[in-house]
Structure 1
Amino acid sequence: MIGQKQIPSRAGGIEVAVEALSTRMVSEGHQVTLYNQRRSRKERKLNKEKGHQRNYRGIRICEVPVINIKGVSAATRSFFATVCAVCGKYDCIHFHAEGPSAMAFLPHRFGIRTIVTIHGLDWQRSKWGKFASWYLKHGEKTAVACADEIIVLSRAMQQYFWETYHRDTSLIPNGIEKPEKKEARVITRQWGLQKDNYILYLGRIVPEKGLENLIRAFLHVKTDKKLVISGAPSDTEAFYKKLQKLAEDDDRIVFTGFVKGVALEELYSNSYLYCLPSEVEGMPISLLEAMSYGNCCVCSDIAECVEVMGEYGYLFEKGNVKDLRNVLQKLCRTPKLIEECRERVSDYVCQKYNWDEITEKTLALYKKG
């Protein structure tokens, strides 16, 4: 598999999906190699590891070099990974995301079965410049031309590929496991957060997630609850500072930075509601996770969120700050609506989006040729 930055990691949805798939494939007796971005000497020293090959839960990890320049690092990582993979005598090479898929022509030319998962239309994301956007769109077109199978995560994306390229795709969404809820301890010590006293956003801090609209809406919500924004910028440090500036006069708004482990579990377990105001998504794993913890969720009305959430949450018009404020205000004033949503949402999402079933469908595509 090629396209993830690091495994293990929660840097993004791709990393979560790749780890979930590959660990299950290994447990079934398959040999899986992941091509990760090479870590720094400091990172390897912390883990007391040498070289650029290691094993993680039965998965072979190979690390490849990158040129650490915005818009270029991912391209160099996928180039070196693909060259190595073509020489690796694999039955199948699986690319994740549009950028890495620009290299799909190489295994295709050598007759190696090539699978591409499109996690989202990445060229639409506002953080990219003209060259990066062109390269991502080029990766999309290369996948259409060279991949034996293309996996998409939503019906909207499936429709896009048919209408744009007349290319058939396989709809295999991301999955989720039912988690164990945690009491608020770490998050209380670090940020003063307690059960049901905060609204949560958790994900990457990038413009297309609609976070500026969320903050502007929350500033006008009359409530004692806090707004917690958890996550790290992704080549978007200036945008992160802009959000902090926008929120600086309201002490209800808390920025936690990147979270993982127990702190992440506690944030999901104890939030009053989860809000995902995105304008662009592939299939939001953070939304699946929030629902799996039994959270009432508020999302923008883009097709990808509507498809995941179904009738188990609340929608607002994409980009409409006033509409978002009204929904948040209504739910803050009416806890009964939150409880009614919580009663059903976890069982629904965990049954519908099952990683074991998703892994079997993916393996079937590997073997189809």
Structure 2
Amino acid sequence: MKEKIKKEKLKIAMIGHKAVPSRRGGIELVLTTMCPIMVEKGHDVTCYNRSGGEAENEYAGTVKNNMYKGVKLKKVFTVNKKGLAAMTSSFSAAICASFKKYDVVHFHAEGPCAALWIPKLFGKKCVCTIHGIDWKREKWKGGFGSKYIKFGEKVAAKFADEVIVLSKSVQQYFMDTYRRETVLIPNGVSRPQIREAQLITEKFGLHKDEYICALSRLTEEKGIHYLIEAYQQVKTDKKLVIAGDTSDTDDYVKKLKHMAAGNPNIIFTGFVSGNLFEELFSNAYVYVLPSNLEGMPLSLLEAMSFGNAVIGSSIPEITDVVENKAIIFKKADVANLRDKLQEVCDDKNMVLKYKTGVADFICSKYNWNAVVDRTLELYYGK
């Protein structure tokens, strides 16, 4: 019989994110969602935020006295330069946490795990979540960043008391590479509020079902260049909306905008949040995720929670999530993506088929309360 989670209050430190509350990245959204649930369940949670930067408008007024929904927020020393921010903030946070009475210090992402040995040295229970194999990302390839992140991965594999992964493929990677047992706890999703098109009409001239939507950080592994190239070959009056911002990838963003130059039907919205984000997902015709590399794509879960038909690439991190509830194209195959886009643009009934019941499917399969409960089980010990 499965042992119930013990009720003793835990003091928990979270390290490795940019800021809470925020939705500027997957890790930030995970912690912004999970940590208040942990507080509701009676635990003491502190998030070590990087210094500098402000919360998005949707979180304005939610932080009072360095608290967000009961979650304590502490800023740590950060060198806010490309390649140094994550490193300096995670080491600063690890040192701070080592001298506090935490029961669990939870590191997020491979790079920040390079500092995991510090609280471990002080006898803390250290848990890490591997949100993806980050050293493989294009922006780090071949340089110091890639080597440093891989070092963090090795530290996590060797010293962490528990390693959480988000997908079966990453779980297999850790077993094959390090003979390290890991625990699979995928991300969750909340049922959203569906909104009529208002702000998106005012800002971008968009109406319901008139556009194909992609939302992600604009980094090369997300495959937005495949989408633009494929879309340019599709015969349709549907617009292509690309929502998201640079992630130390300004050259790649310039490349995307150069590819789209001269086509008024390709719209770059920049970073979106709050009502604007909800309207974009509520009114899209289809959502496309053309990634080469993912951890556990929260934008995919969110798109489906809004009832969107999805076209996704054939990587396991996507296909394992969607099962038979989405349209899959061959990874990095522009011609195959073009054909799938043309198919959905020509067949409204096909789109309706993939929209029907998809929100119920994804919201029941991936539940944040269950994610938090499984994480707490790990904190206490199996």
2:168 to 132, 155, 173: 155
Relative to the length of structure 2, the TM-score reads 0.93
State how far apart, in whole Å, the 1-side matches of 2:171 and 2:346 are.
Answer: 39
Other-structure match for 2:112: 100
The 3-state SS of whatever aligns with 2:254 is helix
In structure 1, the partner of 2:290 is 277
Q: With the length of structure 1 as denominator, give the TM-score of the two structures.
A: 0.96
Q: CA deviation at 1:110?
A: 1.6
SS in 2 for 1:93: strand
Extract unaligned runs of 5+ from structure 1.
none
Deviation of 1:287 after TM superposition, in Å, equals: 0.2
Displacement of 1:346 in angstroms is 0.5
Question: Which residue of structure 2 aligns with residue 364 of structure 1?
Answer: 377
1:206 deviates by 0.5
Length, aligned pairs only: 366
* Percent of aligned pairs with the same amino acid: 47
Match of 2:132 in 1: 120
CA–CA separation in structure 1 for the residues paired with 2:133 and 2:287: 24
Alignment-mate amino acid for residue 235 of structure 1: D
Mapped partners of 1:355, 1:49: distance in 2: 20
- Residue 16 of structure 1 corresponds to 29
Q: Once the 2 structures are TM-superposed, how far is the Cα of residue 233 of structure 1 from its aligned partner?
A: 0.4
CA contact (8 A) 1:71 1:128 kept: no
Q: 1:53 deviation in Å?
A: 7.1
How many angstroms apart in 2 are the aligned matches of 1:123 and 1:188? 39
Residue 164 of structure 1 and its aligned partner are, at CA, apart by 0.9
Among 304, 311, 320, the alignment partner of 2:317 is: 304
Are 1:236 and 2:236 an aligned pair?
Answer: no
What SS is found at the alignment partner of 1:32? Answer: strand
**Structure 2 match to 1:91:** 103
State the alpha-carbon separation in 2 of the partners of residues 64 and 154 from structure 1. 31
Which runs of 5 or more structure 2 residues have no equivalent in the other structure? 1-13
Paired residue for 1:288, among 301, 313, 318?
A: 301
Contact kept in structure 2, 1:198 and 1:272, CA below 8 Å: yes
Give the 3 Å change call, closer, same or farther, for CA 242–97 of structure 1 in structure 2: same
| Structure 2 residue aligned with 1:132 | 145
In the alignment, is the contact (CA less than 8 A) between 2:104 and 2:379 conserved in 1?
Answer: yes
Q: Are residues 1:257 and 2:257 paired?
A: no
> Over aligned residue pairs, what C-alpha RMSD do you find?
1.9
**Which residue identity lines up with residue 60 of structure 1 in the other structure?**
K
* Amino acid aligned to 2:308: N
1:70 equivalent in structure 2: 82
User: 2:6 maps to what in 1?
Assistant: none
Query: How many Å separate the matches in 2 of 1:291 and 1:54?
Result: 33
Deviations 1:1-52 (A, max 9, x none): 0011011111111011111111100001100000001125999xx97999x9
Structure 1 segments (4+ residues) deviating >4 Å: 40-43, 46-50
Superposed CA offset, 1:33-80 (max 9, x none): 00001125999xx97999x97111101000012112211111001010
Shift of 1:113: 0.4
Q: Conserved in 2, the CA contact under 8 Å of 1:206 and 1:233?
A: yes
